[in-house]
Chain A
Amino acid sequence: MGRLRQFYLTCVSEVSWRIPNRPAKFLAQFSQAERGSAYDMLAAAELTDRRELRRKYLEHALDETAHSKIFRERANALGIGREESAIIDIGYLSDHGIIGGETLFERFGELKFLAFVHIAEKQALEQFMVYKSRDLLDPETQVRLDGIRKDELFHMTYSGAELEHYRKNGLDSEVDKAIRQVHRDRWKEKWLRFSQHIGHFVSSLWLLLIYALLIAPFRLLARPEGVGWHQSKGGLSPDHVAKNNKLIAARMQS
């Protein structure tokens, strides 16, 4: 690990992991991230043309599933809030683009996928080392993390060995290119996520302003819907069809 990265990880971890209740939240997020990773590994096991890699991908997926459970147990043990837990469980994977749409394997192809796995596992290991060296975790979580680190080491090693295999087959420049691309993508992803947070914040302010200034006057005219049975509106009801041609009515979004 480079000095700059170590400095960055130490600073960020020292600040964020010391905030009360944050460790539980982070562990719940780790749990979801591992879950997403398991799905990606399963997709790789299904889609790869290199049949000799299938079993490794499957084993990797099983490890990630086990890690996900461990992280979730520790998050619960550290008392993650009820609402926070629900938000992370429901939205984390899709909000972080970890899952949904194309899988990583489909997006990257075999070589870049392996480069991604190698780099992600290496960076996770570095992160875990910082937690240990700075004594940021409770003893029980640290014990469980030590077990996980062994698996991560295996994941980093086998993906690294596969990259070497490509190099030995004369694909040196392709491997280097894939590694560069993955590093670049990871930074880009971080930047996009940061921008998303900013955009989210700014749009919330604007919408709140619109709510206060534009919605308020209409409140005088509006009434909540009454209770009980109402006559159905819309659809292809006779009224609706009478007003519009049947096909046009069916094409309408309102």
Chain B
Amino acid sequence: MLVLESQRDTLQNTLSLVDRPMPCWILGISALYHDSAAVLLKDGVVFAAAQEERFTRIKNDLSMPIRATAWLLEHAGISPSELEALVFYEKPLRKFERILSTSVAYFPYSWRLFSPQMRAWLGDKLWLRDKLISQFAVPKDRIFFSEHHLSHAASAFYCSPHQDATILTVDGVGEWATTALWSGSGADITPVSEIRYPHSLGLFYSAITAHLGFVVNNGEYKVMGMASFGEPRFMAEMNQLLIVKDGRFELDLRYFCHHLHPRRATTRHFETFFGVPRHPSEPFDLDSDDPQIVSRSQLFADIAASAQLALEEALMALVHHAHQTCPSTALCLAGGVALNAVANQRIATEGPFEHVWVQPAAGDAGGALGAALWGWHMVMGNPRTAEPAFQVSLGRSWSASKVADYLEDFRLPFTDVTENFSETVAADLAAGKIIAWMQDGFEWGPRALGYRSILADPRSAEMKDRINRSVKFREPFRPFAPVVLASAIDDWFEVPPAARNMTPYMVCTVNVRSEVIDKIPAVTHIDGTARVQSVSDEHNPLLSKVIEAFAALTGVPVLINTSFNVKGDPIVNSPVDAVATFLQSEMDCMYIGNLRVEQPKRQRYHSPRIDG
């Protein structure tokens, strides 16, 4: 009888497969500038997504996302020939036109830029369609090209909970646009206006990033963190560099040379304002015994504070202009500048919109998502449907048996803590242990949102220094973000109503409530803010339960949540990455799935030497 039933089920499954139309797969690609990524849509819904850096282990990897795509296709169980469309996130020839036009317009000062740019384009980027055909094995007629800022706009709007919204995209540069305004309604995104290269808020902030000794396209959030330690005493100078008026901005090009030089962003005039740039290894220590170090550090902090304020002023002007030009209750923000969580707080608090939304991968990686969604909605003409809240665990996951195999092979003892899992993790956290946490598929976007995280107790200020010093090996001024139970967020943080939809994605800072500020010093930045993430059963049930158990032990429904990596590395992807990162830092234990691994007691994992 059982056999018959099973045969009937199989037959029904087969019939339904025959009846069901083939799913429509769309691959979105962003690449060749920074943060390359691939996204796979199945019938218009995000099936999986990954940045190439997670596979190649080069932070902000810009190469074509071959490995990410290979994983996506394998995960979906399809071949490239089954892709309905491959959508690249920008129009390369229009970008080339901008580069050539800029070289001409700024002749003869653009001579340094011309040669490397032309070499890159003539040798490689100009033949993008052929490259896509050969690398992804997709027929020519299935390859589409969106537009850089349109891809950003699509990534923000289609993933938002809003059917009508004003969309503002702000980044370094796309084809021509550096800032663009759009109107979104249903499945349509209509272009309104744009500000063009070389006037760019993203490149302004990158110039400051480089001046402060950080890596461009990577260190911008360090500037944001550093800003809180300074006073904006350079606003007069900033207002000369970045002129904001009538709802728009422009750069004074006497101070910038990103349009003339392949490696430099600022001219010598810039240095007359802000002095000699900071060397990447120059210490930043406001508590140093050396007065010269303190003085230089304060200078850098003040420059960062001034730049941050100047950026916020410019963004506020743009947001008000956007509201006047395309009135709406909701604003969708995208582009690399939309990852500035401090500015987002100000937009949500002081801006004219009732709702503000930022998709977690607002930078160029998000372009892949936007390109794919643009293909589905605007090229193929599919309507939008009401979708559940945007989920972020879109990356590769690993089976428990595979993880156990690796741990055995590495001779790392582990215990299965399936029973009382949440309570065991919470007890470790309450005991002051720093925990490496790897669960399910990795997150989409640059933030660790509870799938590849380092978790710790936020109740002691020392914890922040300990993690910065011995675990992440990063600058001591860098703050840590809190993850809080969604049900308790208002007891601990002052969330502006307009920012409520953003809290699951750690893209907006909020004020920590004054009455609890002493209870969570490790996640409260010097200015009393925190880049909060809320979790609920809807977004991350496993982590949610751990925080509930931690709250039961301590009365605090908040944890430190920082990315599972060390300085300079991308967030971990595989169990091997996780083990290597765990062993080279001073974390106390690691949870991969339901397996708990203690940090080996020996000083070095490989000492004494293993058998030869």
CB neighbours (8 Å) of B33 from chain A are none
CB distance from A43 to the nearest CB of B (A): 8
CB neighbours (8 Å) of A161 from chain B are 612
> Is residue A171 within 8 Å, beta carbon to beta carbon, of the partner chain?
no
CB neighbours (8 Å) of A254 from chain B are 91, 93-94, 97
CB distance from A2 to the nearest CB of B (A): 26
With both beta carbons as reference points, the residue of chain A lying nearest to B107 in the complex is identified as A219
With both beta carbons as reference points, the residue of chain B lying nearest to A218 in the complex is identified as B104
B610 engages A232 (CB within 8 Å): no
11 chain-A/chain-B pairs, Cβ below 8 angstroms: A56-B610, A76-B280, A82-B213, A99-B56, A208-B111, A218-B104, A224-B105, A232-B177, A252-B91, A252-B145, A253-B91
B63 engages A246 (CB within 8 Å): no
A42 engages B57 (CB within 8 Å): yes
CB neighbours (8 Å) of A251 from chain B are 141, 143-145
Q: A200-B119, A226-B196, A228-B250 are in contact. List 15 more A-B contacts (CB 8 A).
A: A39-B57, A46-B576, A59-B606, A100-B63, A157-B612, A204-B115, A223-B105, A224-B102, A229-B194, A230-B196, A231-B194, A232-B191, A246-B379, A253-B128, A253-B129
> Is residue B429 within 8 Å, beta carbon to beta carbon, of the partner chain?
no
> Is residue B601 within 8 Å, beta carbon to beta carbon, of the partner chain?
no
CB neighbours (8 Å) of B102 from chain A are 224
Most A C-beta atoms less than 10 A away, residue of B66, B198, B410? B410
CA distance A155 to B435 in the complex (A): 31
CB neighbours (8 Å) of A45 from chain B are 576
B606 engages A82 (CB within 8 Å): no
User: Chain A interface mostly helix, strand, loop or mixed?
Assistant: helix
Q: Which A residues lie at the B interface, using CB under 8 A?
A: 38-39, 42, 45-46, 51-52, 54-56, 58-59, 61-63, 65-66, 76, 82-83, 85-87, 89-90, 93-94, 99-101, 154, 157-158, 161, 200, 203-204, 207-208, 210-212, 215-216, 218-219, 222-238, 246-247, 250-254
CB neighbours (8 Å) of A42 from chain B are 57, 576-577, 580
CB neighbours (8 Å) of B144 from chain A are 250-251
CB distance from B589 to the nearest CB of A (A): 18
User: Chain B interface mostly helix, strand, loop or mixed?
Assistant: mixed
A229 engages B105 (CB within 8 Å): no
CA distance A66 to B607 in the complex (A): 14
CA distance A226 to B194 in the complex (A): 11
B405 engages A207 (CB within 8 Å): no
B579 engages A232 (CB within 8 Å): no
B63 engages A207 (CB within 8 Å): no
B215 engages A90 (CB within 8 Å): yes
With both beta carbons as reference points, the residue of chain B lying nearest to A103 in the complex is identified as B56
CB neighbours (8 Å) of A247 from chain B are 379
Known: A157-B612, A211-B115. A219 touches B583 (CB 8 A): no
B410 engages A215 (CB within 8 Å): no
CA distance A216 to B109 in the complex (A): 11
B584 engages A54 (CB within 8 Å): no
CB distance from A232 to the nearest CB of B (A): 3
CA distance A252 to B264 in the complex (A): 33
> Is residue B42 within 8 Å, beta carbon to beta carbon, of the partner chain?
no
Known: A59-B606, A208-B111. A235 touches B97 (CB 8 A): no
CB neighbours (8 Å) of A46 from chain B are 406, 574, 576
CA distance A249 to B292 in the complex (A): 59
B92 engages A253 (CB within 8 Å): yes
B61 engages A228 (CB within 8 Å): no
A87 engages B574 (CB within 8 Å): no
With both beta carbons as reference points, the residue of chain A lying nearest to B281 in the complex is identified as A76
Indicate which residue in B93, B106, B115 contacts A253 across the interface (CB closer than 8 Å). Answer: B93
CA distance A252 to B145 in the complex (A): 6
**Pairs of residues from A and B, 6 with the lowest C-beta to C-beta distance, nearest first:** A232-B191, A254-B93, A76-B281, A59-B606, A227-B250, A54-B409
Known: A58-B576, A82-B279, A232-B180. A207 touches B584 (CB 8 A): no
B411 engages A225 (CB within 8 Å): no
CB neighbours (8 Å) of B101 from chain A are 222
CA distance A62 to B446 in the complex (A): 25
Known: A42-B576, A100-B58, A208-B115. A234 touches B175 (CB 8 A): yes
CA distance A76 to B104 in the complex (A): 39
Known: A215-B104, A216-B107. A207 touches B114 (CB 8 A): yes
CA distance A76 to B199 in the complex (A): 34
CB distance from A174 to the nearest CB of B (A): 21
With both beta carbons as reference points, the residue of chain B lying nearest to A157 in the complex is identified as B612
With both beta carbons as reference points, the residue of chain A lying nearest to B575 in the complex is identified as A46
> Is residue B195 within 8 Å, beta carbon to beta carbon, of the partner chain?
yes
Indicate which residue in B63, B115, B263, B580 contacts A65 across the interface (CB closer than 8 Å). Answer: B580
> Is residue B193 within 8 Å, beta carbon to beta carbon, of the partner chain?
yes
> Is residue B108 within 8 Å, beta carbon to beta carbon, of the partner chain?
yes
B277 engages A82 (CB within 8 Å): yes
Convert B298-326 into 0s and 1s, putting 1 for each residue whose CB lies closer than 8 angstroms to a CB of A.
00000000000000000000000100000
A227 engages B248 (CB within 8 Å): yes
Most B C-beta atoms less than 10 A away, residue of A52, A90, A154, A161? A90
B106 engages A83 (CB within 8 Å): no
> Is residue B176 within 8 Å, beta carbon to beta carbon, of the partner chain?
yes
Question: Within residues 151 to 200 of chain B, which ones have a CB less than 8 A from any CB in chain A?
Answer: 175-177, 180-181, 190-199
A54 engages B410 (CB within 8 Å): yes
A229 engages B248 (CB within 8 Å): yes
> Is residue B273 within 8 Å, beta carbon to beta carbon, of the partner chain?
no
CB distance from B21 to the nearest CB of A (A): 20
With both beta carbons as reference points, the residue of chain A lying nearest to B253 in the complex is identified as A224
B58 engages A99 (CB within 8 Å): yes
B263 engages A87 (CB within 8 Å): yes
CA distance A238 to B190 in the complex (A): 8
CA distance A158 to B612 in the complex (A): 6
Known: A54-B406, A207-B119, A251-B144. A225 touches B584 (CB 8 A): no
Indicate which residue in B56, B279, B609 contacts A154 across the interface (CB closer than 8 Å). Answer: B609
Known: A204-B115, A207-B115, A251-B141. A55 touches B57 (CB 8 A): no
With both beta carbons as reference points, the residue of chain B lying nearest to A224 in the complex is identified as B105
CB distance from A10 to the nearest CB of B (A): 31
> Is residue B118 within 8 Å, beta carbon to beta carbon, of the partner chain?
yes
A234 engages B411 (CB within 8 Å): no
B610 engages A51 (CB within 8 Å): no
CB distance from B608 to the nearest CB of A (A): 11
